[in-house]
Amino acid sequence: MEKITRFGVSIEPDLLKKFDKVIKKKGYTNRSEAIRDIIRKDIIIEKNKDPNLESIGTLTMIYDHHAGNLTNRLLDLQHDHTKEILSTTHIHIDHHNCLEVLVLKGKTSNIQKLADNIKSLKGIKHGELVITESQI
């Protein structure tokens, strides 16, 4: 186990109350773990600004599979990016709507470009890319 360093934080009482309310709602048992998660998240966001960083992530999207030629365009894009796509999961929500999750790995710039290309397709109702680094 790593050595723990303790340090003090000065914070306004009102802000601390709000923070405590949020972390309690999220299920944290103490402030330290919540602060560690915030720091980890910020470090990952900062590192992911490097387009050459090897990253992993997911692209979650909701779309209407009846929209134009969307299904074929999605499949073409996915077949063009077999190097970055590790896995896909496809769920039929109702007669028109599908949820699809792509598990991605590769250079951050390639993952971001693929996600942008998919999210911009007509018929994609919502797309959310979450990137993390493969070595935390």
- At 4-37, the pLDDT tens digits run 899 898 999 999 999 999 999 999 999 999 999 9
pTM here is 0.79
Helix (H, G, I), strand (E, B) or coil at 75: helix
Which residues face 62 on adjacent strands? 99, 126
Q: Are strands 85-92 and 97-107 parallel, antiparallel or unpaired?
A: antiparallel
State the CATH class of domain 54-133: alpha beta
Look up residue 114 and give its amino acid. Answer: L
**Domain ranges across the chain:** 13-47, 54-133
Taking each continuous run of H as one helix and of E as one strand, the counts in the chain are 4, 4
Q: Which residues 6+ apart lie within 8 Å of 55 measured at CB?
A: 48, 104, 105, 106, 107, 108, 111, 131, 132, 133, 134
- At 41-75, the pLDDT tens digits run 898 888 888 888 889 999 999 999 888 899 999 99
